[in-house]
Chains A and B, each alone.
Chain A
Amino acid sequence: MTFNEDAVRLHHRRLFLQSSTTGLGMLALGALQSSHAGAVDPQAMPGAMGVDGALGQLHFAPRAKRIIYLFMSGAPSHLDLFDPKPKLIEMTGQDLPESVRQGQRITTMTSGQKNLFCVGSPFKFAKYGAGGMDLSELLPHLAKIADDCTFVRSIHTDPINHDPAVTFFATGNQQPGRPTMGAWLAYGLGSESADLPAFVVLTSGGGGQTLQTRYWGSGFLPAQYAGVQFRNAGDPVLFVSNPPGIEPQTRRGLLDATNQLNQIALETLGDPAIAAQIENYELAFRMQTSVPQLTDLTEESAATLALYGATPGRPSFANNCLLARRMVERGVRFVQLCHRDWDHHGGLPGGIRTKCNETDQGAAALVTDLKRLGLLDETIVIWGGEFGRTAYSQGEIKPDNFGRDHHPRCFTMWMAGGGLKRGYVHGETDDFGYNIVRDGVHVHDLHATLLHLLGVDHQRLIYRHEGRDYRLTDIAGNVIPELLA
């Protein structure tokens, strides 16, 4: 061999560090070597598997290594699940006082309504855990793990429509183009897994608001940092299965030949991109085994399946929760579950019950299971939607039917795991669940806090694009110390 493959790889790596265009690569190199590289040299970027991230080293000692984000698409009502308001029950059918709304903008779905009638929750609440968190009767499983959770009642966001609001939660910006949190982590921290992507996405629950691939996209980062969608039907990862008639040993033989021919090309041409490709074919081959193993839920005990309410072969949120656990066990950095159809503009009482039935058990089981396995200390589980819902009804209030419009000014999320306070309730909203009265947490603050827990200073995980240094938290965000254990 005229070409030392290791040398190529070494070179390759050095090049990557040099050309990663921000302070990050340079940090790792320990010196400023190229202060004005523009676009990344993409050929020189390593795959986001089994590699170190651009950060090189963390900014602080991490409290957690990975995140499982249970994203409830469509926006669950905080008023019917987490934030009971007797005042709304009392005032059902009466106009929301203007002193509460204070002229804030609302969507054009309700801005034309003659009245904004308050509507109380029809569900019963009780207090759970040391923090005395109020939880609706719709969440009996969450109630059991209340002592493991941090509840934030004072999350707030900027957009009032789904598309920009989800994009904002995912990327810190309302418009398409920025990397998602999972992509930032894949880029900054790399992957702990040798044969699985750093960032994985699972979806469940049909109908309702749509999902866009940008919600797990890499934005201006190279595509390899985007979330890899694990699918409910067909190949779990696209094209992981060989075509009919190509058995694994046949594929191995073809790959050997491919690699030998590529090796000749490498020796002839000297282009390090060829070395990278050889390496990637080996990784791909390993994925052909590791992915089916990962997704085979029949390996799980009956007790575990029962804990989650999962059934092998029948896609569900519960199955996805169990898959998420299997993924973090194997070193996946960021697992994002998207569950659809929480957008209850009408028919809220029936709709939210259905959604809770679909998700409550699986989500709570995930926390329980991680704890059982000793993984909860190094994993963060987050549950939440893109905004909350209004104190007033969209459309008429009927005995068993009403709806709530979008409400970005306050809503509730819960988290559990590494570095977070347990059995803790943060923030408070007014009597109408409309405004925050204490300890607001903006989306940027949430992002900053999550990065902090992973050992990353949100102001220093940056990437230069079009002449500007970008970060997940844009130009804002504060770590919320009260949330930290």
Chain B
Amino acid sequence: MFTPAVHVRIVPAAALVAIALSLGTAAFGFEGPLPDGSADEPGAGGDAANAVVVDFNRQIRPILSDHCFACHGPDKNALQGDLRLDDREHVFRAAQSGLVPVIAGDVAGSELVRRVRSQDASTQMPPPETGKPLSAEEITLLEQWIGQGAGWSEHWAFAPVQSPSIPREGLALGEIHNPIDAFVLQRLAAEGLAQGPRESRERLIRRASLDLTGLPPTIDEVQAFLFDRSPQAFETVVDRLLGSQHFGERLALPWLDLARYGDTSGYHNDSLRDMWLWRQWVIEAFNANMPFDQFTIEQLAGDLLPAATLTQRVASGFHRNVMTSDEGGLIDAEYRNLYVVDRVATTGVTWLGMTVACAQCHDHKYDPLSQSDFYRLYAFFNNVPENGKDGVRDRNPVPFLSVPTAEQEAAQREIDGRLQEAQQRLANLRAQLPERQSAWEAKLATAGEPPQPPAAIASFPLDGSADGASSNSPAIVPQVQGTPVFGEGVQGESFHTDGTNWFEYGERFGFEKDQPFSVSAFVWVTPGGGSPFGKMDDGNGARGWDVEFHGLRPSVHLIHRWPEDVIHLQADEDLPANTWTHLALTYDGSGKAAGLRLYIDGSLAKATIRKDALEGTIRNEIPFCIGRRGPTSTPFTGRIDELRIDDCAVGADQIAALGAADVFRIVRKIPGERSEGETKRLASFFERTEGTEIATLQAEIAAMVQQRDELLRAIPNTMVMAEMEKPRETFIKVRGNYDADGELVVPGGPAFLPPILSSADPQESPSTRLTRLDLARWLVADTHPLTARVAVNRLWAMLFGTGIVKTLNDFGSQGEAPSHPELLDWLATDLRRDWDIKRVIKQMVMSATYQQSARVSPELLARDAENRLLARGPRQRLDAELIRDNALSIAGILNPRLGGRSIKPAQPAGTWEINEMSGYGYEKSQGDDLYRRGLYVYWRRSTVYPSFVTLDAPTREFCVAQRAKTSTPLQSLVLMNDPVFVEAARGLGQRILSEGEPTREARLQRLWQFALARTPSPAEMAILTRTLAQLETTYQHDTAGARGLAAVGDLPKPTAIDDVELAIWTAMSNMILNLNETITN
């Protein structure tokens, strides 16, 4: 059996670099001398001469971890009998009982063995109630291990990265292109397996193109590769792909999953956010081949770099992708704690490959990470000047950064200038007002009496009584609700309401929609709004009529059933708060909004028709109310006076007289006799009716403010990290509870890893407090055992489907041991020397291992279903976004534009409905934005784009290191019927028909090549031909159906193409886009 410890050898770093350099660029047919493998050194496993040497790290630690550590591991609080089986010191010395758990070489004398073999429930380990018994195989392994000397070593992932020599053995077995193959072949040889044959060129270029850019090769690219007989042919392809701008998009995809990137806040209302500038930074960083250490530092602490650039600050947004909430009633501290915890957890998975979040509540059960370690890490992220309740639903919460273009900056300066100038003009006009008003008052005071309007059908003077008077009936006496309050009014007293008091006048003024009527009154409005009067049945679709204030802005409603069967007219201006204004509505009985008018202070108000769709009756059985619009409706806060109701549409002259009635009275008083309220009313009336240029100017200013607001909104804005001037203190949270502070801690790293060093100059900064920048630099320090291993393993998994360590997110003792430990360390060492991602990826892709055929025999499948031994090439279903990109690309309709804001392709109606609180609505993108890559699709975390979810995309609510890849019938439905994929099929049909291939056979060939980059076999061709014939018959008979299919989607259709032809080739293409090979690399 393969024993990992045997071939490990330490070589000087410089020598290694030289070796790697010479090997890394070698292409096919590498035959250079491999370095001399050193004399084998016995590993910790003991006697290498034994046929089966048990490997502690790979075989024994996992058993102890899974079955024992929960009670005999790192968690101090859970520790039983003071025995730690994760600690070498404890394992080999006498425990409390006086017995020694493990005596090397003495199976029978080891207490551990006695306990796991025990049948007695009181001594048996693990205790039966834990439900985690050891299997017979596991017990045997433990015994073999003890018998072989009980070798012990540190958990492999926490041990320093070794620099293993490249193995010599097995070279004769197959092709070796670079060191990767040497390691893989060595393992295959040990397993008695051989390397697989090389993949066909067609399949290979398709695999590499999809893996490195997420897009299929063009037919020309395939042809060029097929005809390039030079030894560097594949390298040429790989170099081209690595240089493509789509490389950055491809690499960004798994990174966005780790970073939990979304376009919304995630929790509760899932409000809209802008983080696409950060996403663009990631794409550009990969394209520019930014070294991974710099990539790490800028994202974790770009804001803290000396003289940080704008882009470095944008990069720091990595940890602002954390979900936030604006739910009403939440407790700030509870949520801020969540955000910080999430940052620690995400940092743990992304760079340490560890689930550190376990230590939020208690010491880690399996790995040597204490609860204090967790909160020391927490302290690095606890100083962001952010709020637990993020406080905004349509913009980014603080701290954020605006990144305007030069044009936007200029436009903002220009509008600010105009705004300032207009405000100055307004001030000047206002200054002239008093003088003008005096002249106007004098004129008005000497003018004749105002015209008297005719008697109303009912009037309510509201002078100390709620009773109304009517021309043809006795006094109208209301039911008084609450305590009636009367006070100073326009004429005599007026009704004052705080919402708890109102008057109900029984079932009167129940106008039908074909009856004209008018209502007018003086109102004194407060910003609380509400309905001052009306007759409306809130419990029955709001049937009836009313005046309602939204804030200070009046509306009139005539309603049969809200919101569909309604006339709604809303004024374009607010009424002044806390003063009297005359308001009148007149209605001509036409049933149309055009027949409804709103007057303010006697003048026709500018108003907007919000709804004009009244069909049914507006009559109801609710009493007419003053103080609200119905007994159970929202109350009104303010004052009402001189209300009158007419059964006709009162004319403009008469409304003017009504609206100015009090003004005529006030101007006849000398200023000293006027009350404060009267003075205010006079000024307000004068400004509205005579100082009209003020209103005009105010409207201009309002428009400018709105324009400025829109401009500011258009300026790209992104959330960034920042530090508070005075850092928050961090306390251990007892049992993880946000409101239970324990011991005070300062920023620092876990004790089991190398120490974090401060980069601060002690001269300049006497504080020794570590910063996020120190944390970031520590992660990429040479001494760090995890970061390079974790990063290179993820790149490997991207290309090979499974990591060398299968558990991409868990390098701890519960994670899976590496299948090729030396290869992992060799790759980690190699990455770390320059952190050059493109070089490392190239090295993987240039290996013979990657270039093997993916074909698998039943025997090999039975032996190695998951291809962990790498005796065949990788074969993976594409990620959700890439399935889309691939289809659009095959169809020739992909819009390859890089970066920018997220786009909204067609999605089924109602998808966002379940999470509509603020009613954003999903506005589909237009034009060629519809055909941009999947990574730009708007990511609403509560309701992710449906086809992506079905195809296993994560929600991005939290950090995900590896997507599942399932196969389900719902996926088949997506590929068959999602209009986006049907539209892609139509695009592909149009592409085939536009190319002018003369024969059906040539067209089928071409279709196949677009999708699969290869020529169809005769058997495949026969199926295609038969299917085409069937489709021809179908659509020649069903021209209506053909028209329907040929019209799916927004894609323009060339007029030259016949619908029947197009339907045939759309259906054909739909099938092609559904093939397993099409959605697989």
Contacts and interface: CB of A to CB of B under 8 A. Distances in A.
Interface of A: 3, 7, 11, 15, 19, 23, 31-32, 35-45, 47-49, 105, 107-110, 160-163, 175-177, 197, 203, 206, 209-214, 217, 222-224, 226, 228, 231-235, 237-247, 250-251, 253-254, 257-258, 260-262, 264-265, 268-274, 276-277, 280-281, 283-284, 287-288, 338, 350, 396, 398-401, 405-406, 459-460, 464, 466-468
Contacts of A264: 1017, 1019-1020, 1023
A45 B338 contact: no
Nearest to B1048: A243
Contacts of A276: 967
A466 B913 CA distance: 34
A244 B977 contact: no
B1045 A245 contact: yes
Contacts of A280: 967-969, 971-972
7 closest Cβ pairs, A-B complex: A245-B1045, A467-B814, A244-B1044, A38-B807, A107-B329, A284-B972, A283-B969
B138 A177 contact: no
B138 A35 contact: yes
Nearest to B949: A223
B1078 to A, nearest CB: 10
Contacts of A277: 967, 972, 1076
Contact of A253 (B330, B973, B1030): B1030
Nearest to B1049: A243
A272 B856 CA distance: 10
B192 interface: no
A35 B1017 contact: no
Interface residues of B, number: 123
Contacts, number: 311
Interface of B: 62-63, 66, 131-132, 135, 137-138, 266-270, 323, 325, 327-332, 338, 349, 355, 358, 365-366, 389, 481, 500, 538-539, 631-632, 739, 806-810, 812-817, 854-858, 861-862, 865-866, 875, 877, 908-910, 913-917, 942-944, 946-947, 949-950, 952, 955, 957-958, 962, 964-974, 976-979, 982, 1017, 1019-1020, 1023-1024, 1026-1027, 1030-1031, 1034-1035, 1038, 1040-1048, 1063, 1067, 1070-1071, 1074-1077, 1080
Nearest to B634: A347
A222 B966 contact: yes
Contacts of A105: 331, 739
Contacts of A41: 865-866
A36 B1080 CA distance: 28
Contacts of B1019: 264
14 contacts: A11-B862, A37-B816, A175-B338, A176-B266, A210-B916, A213-B914, A244-B1048, A245-B1046, A250-B1067, A257-B1026, A264-B1023, A281-B1074, A284-B969, A467-B366
Contacts of A47: 966-969
A233 B327 contact: no
Given A36-B816, A239-B977, A268-B855, A44 B1038 contact: no
Contact of A242 (B952, B971, B976, B1077): B976
Contacts of A247: 1034, 1038, 1041
Most chain B CB within a 10 A radius of its CB, from A19, A250, A467? A467
Contact of B910 (A176, A232, A246, A287): A232
A108 B329 contact: yes
Contacts of B349: 466
A210 B950 contact: no
A350 B632 contact: yes
A214 B323 CA distance: 14
B350 to A, nearest CB: 13
B952 A269 contact: no
A287 B330 contact: no
A479 to B, nearest CB: 16
A224 to B, nearest CB: 5
A158 to B, nearest CB: 10
A243 B955 CA distance: 28
A175 B966 CA distance: 24
A15 B825 CA distance: 29
B966 A243 contact: no
B914 A203 contact: yes
Contacts of A44: 865
Contact of A237 (B943, B973, B978, B1067): B973
Given A37-B816, A233-B909, A15 B632 contact: no
Contact of A212 (B810, B857, B942, B965): B942
A348 to B, nearest CB: 12
B632 A270 contact: no
Contact of A39 (B808, B977, B1034): B808
B806 A269 contact: no
A467 B972 contact: no
B1075 A258 contact: yes
Nearest to A163: B268
Most chain B CB within a 10 A radius of its CB, from A105, A161, A287? A161
Given A162-B268, A231-B910, A239-B978, A245 B1042 contact: yes
Given A239-B976, A406-B329, A459 B967 contact: no
A47 B942 CA distance: 24
A471 to B, nearest CB: 11
A211 B915 contact: yes
B262 to A, nearest CB: 12
A231 B912 CA distance: 12
A460 B1067 CA distance: 48
A39 B814 CA distance: 11
A287 B1047 contact: no
A214 B814 CA distance: 27
B564 to A, nearest CB: 13
Contacts of B268: 161-163, 210
Contacts of B809: 39, 466
A250 B1031 contact: yes
Given A15-B865, A288-B973, 8 more contacts: A39-B807, A41-B866, A108-B329, A243-B982, A264-B1023, A265-B1075, A272-B865, A466-B810
Contact of A257 (B964, B1027, B1042): B1027
A161 B329 contact: yes
B957 A244 contact: no
Given A268-B855, A400-B631, A273 B877 contact: yes
A464 B512 CA distance: 68
A364 to B, nearest CB: 23
Contacts of B917: 209-210
A242 B1038 contact: no
B908 A235 contact: yes
Contacts of A212: 270, 914-915, 942-943
A214 B955 contact: yes
A284 B500 contact: no
A346 to B, nearest CB: 10
Contact of B329 (A40, A42, A160, A468): A160
Given A211-B915, A261-B1023, A244 B1041 contact: yes
A233 B267 CA distance: 26
Contacts of B968: 47-49, 223-224, 280
A46 B965 CA distance: 11
A244 B1063 CA distance: 10
Contacts of B964: 39-40, 42, 45, 222-223
B914 A211 contact: yes
Contacts of B739: 105
A214 B957 contact: yes
Nearest to B1047: A244
A244 B331 contact: no
Given A49-B969, A210-B269, A270 B858 contact: yes
A100 B650 CA distance: 60
A245 B957 contact: no
B854 A271 contact: yes
A110 B328 CA distance: 10
A105 B333 CA distance: 12
Nearest to B866: A41
Nearest to B481: A399
